[in-house]
Structure 1
C-alpha cells in the first residue's frame, strides 16, 4: 500500500507471505528460455524458496547476505523481558532466542506464518499471526492476543483492544 501511494505498482504479490507460496505462485516470465532468480537471504533461511523455484525450472542464485545473531542482554534487559505481557516475533531466529532465555509461556503475535510455525513447534501456546502480509495484519494479531488474554495478567496493565 505504501508503494502504491508512491506510484509504484507491484507486478506480483503472493497470496501468502511464505517462501512456499512465493515459490509456487511466482509467474514464469515466458514459455521458453532460462529464468534466473537472484535470491539474497539470511544464512539461516531454509531452502524452501530456492528448492521450490528450482523444481519449477528457475535457476536460483542464492546469496547469503546477512546472518542473525542473538543480541546480548544485560540484567536490566532480562528483567524487562521477564515482565513482558506479549511478545512479537518477525523471524524464527527471534523465537528461538526468546524461548531459550525466557521459555514459552508468553502470548505471541508473529509477523507471519513462518515465525508462527516456529513458535508453535517450540511450544508457545497462544500464537496469532495475520493471513496476509503487512503491518495492519500484524497489529491485528497483537490485538487478538490482547483480546484472547483479557482474563490474564494483561488486565493488570489495562490494555484495551
Structure 2
C-alpha cells in the first residue's frame, strides 16, 4: 500500500489505531470522520439496567463504543453467567476499561455467530447495551432461542465533522481508497459527500473497502461498487485485505 492515499472514515476518538495500521503499510492516510459517538439523550434506562446487572445471566458487548459508554458508569457487578463480546477489539476494550477478564468470543465476529456461541438456555436473561441505531439481529437470534432480552441505548451515533476536504480530493483523483468500518460510516460518508458538494461518480475509480458483509451491503445499497470485504471482520483483517488488493 506504499504511497496509496486512503480515507479513514472512523470517528475521531477511534481512528488513531486504524490510521497507524495504514501508515505502517506505507499508506498516506486521509482522515474524514463520518461518525461521532455521543451519550443517550436519556441515560436512565442504561443506568438502571447496569445497577441491576446481577439480575442478568449475560452481558453482551457489541462494540468498543459500548464499552467506553459503560466505562462512564460506576463499577459493574458481575452478570450471573458471564460476558461476551462480538470481536477481539471489543474484548480488549472490555478488559482495559471495565476489568472484564472472562469474555466469550465467537469464532467469526458477527451478531449471528455470537448468538450461536452463547448457547442460551430458554428463560436466561440477557442485557445488550447498544447504539440507538444498532441492528436487532442479535436480540432476534437470542429471543428465538427463548432468552429474555433487554436492549438499552448506551450511546448515539451521529454524523462526524472535520478532517480533509475529501470531495475536492476525489474530484482531483487524489484518493485511491475509501474504507468503511460500519454501516453508519457509509451512510454518513454519502451524506457528507453530497452536503459538501461532492459527486458520487468520483468514487467510480476508487477502491471501496468494507470491514464486513453488513457494511458492504450498505455500501451497495448506496450504489457503490465494493472492491474489498475483509474475511476477518477486524481492522487488522481490513488492512490485510487492502494490502492484497493493492499488490
Look up the match of 2:127: 38
Does structure 1 residue 50 correspond to structure 2 residue 139? yes
Q: What's the TM-score once normalised by structure 2's chain length?
A: 0.48
Pairwise CA distance, 1:145: 3.4
Higher strand share: 2
Matched, 1:107 2:207: yes
Q: CA deviation at 1:64?
A: 1.4
Return the TM-score normalized by structure 1: 0.70
User: In structure 2, which of residues 213, 216, 222 is the aligned counterpart of residue 116 of structure 1?
Assistant: 216
- Alignment gaps of 5+ in structure 2: 1-87, 194-198
1:61 aligns with 2:150: yes
Matched, 1:93 2:184: yes
Does the Cα contact within 8 Å between 1:34 and 1:59 map onto a contact in 2? yes
Q: 1:57 Cα deviation (Å)?
A: 1.2
Cα RMSD (Å): 2.9
- Any stretches of 5+ residues in structure 1 without a counterpart? 148-161
**Residue 122 (structure 2) pairs with residue 27 (structure 1):** no
**2-structure distance, mates of 1:96, 1:134:** 20
Which one of 17, 24, 28 corresponds to residue 109 of structure 2? 17
Distance 1:50 1:87 in 2: 31
1:130 aligns with 2:230: yes
Task: Report which structure shows greater RCO (CA 8 Å, sep ≥6).
Answer: 2
- Asked whether the equivalents of residues 216 and 226 of structure 2 are also in contact (C-alpha less than 8 Å), the reply is no
